[in-house]
Each structure stands twice: as structure tokens, then as C-alpha cells.
């Protein structure tokens, strides 16, 4: 991942996504409700964007 670390997550993967973000960036992420994106971890529709 580059400088901009945006992760998309479905409900099932949101905790993993937050862990990944915190491990990489060492800051608390914003968690934003979104639609029309795919989960970064599976094929489901994402419900959350995890970003700086
Ligand atoms: Zn998922």
C-alpha cells in the first residue's frame, strides 16, 4: 500500500481492517460508512471505509 491507506471492509472484516490500518499507520483511523465499494478482504460489498 502507498501513502494513502484506504481500506474497504464489509461488516465481517471491519475489525481486521482496523487492525491492519493501525499496524501500518500507528494512528487511529476514521471509519466511514460507505456504499458502492467492494471489501478489500472478500467479494462482499463493503460497508465501511477505513482511512486517515
Ligand atoms: Zn469482507
Domain membership flag for residue 2 = no
* CA 16 – ligand 1 centroid, Å: 9
13 has a pLDDT exceeding 80: yes
Q: What is the mean pLDDT of the chain?
A: 93
Among 29, 43, 52, 22, CA closest to 10: 43
* CA 20 – ligand 1 centroid, Å: 13
Domain membership flag for residue 23 = yes
* CA 13 – ligand 1 centroid, Å: 5
Domain membership flag for residue 44 = yes
* CA 41 – ligand 1 centroid, Å: 5
* CA 30 – ligand 1 centroid, Å: 18
Query: Range of 21's domain?
Result: 7-51
pLDDT tens, residue by residue, 16-35: 999 999 999 999 999 999 99
Domain count, the chain: 1
Amino acid at each position: 500500500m502507498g501513502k494513502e491507506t484506504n481500506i474497504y471492509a464489509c461488516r465481517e472484516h471491519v475489525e481486521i481492517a482496523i487492525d491492519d490500518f493501525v499496524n501500518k499507520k500507528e494512528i487511529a483511523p476514521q471509519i466511514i460508512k460507505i456504499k458502492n465499494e467492494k471489501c478489500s478482504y472478500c467479494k462482499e460489498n463493503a460497508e465501511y471505509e477505513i482511512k486517515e
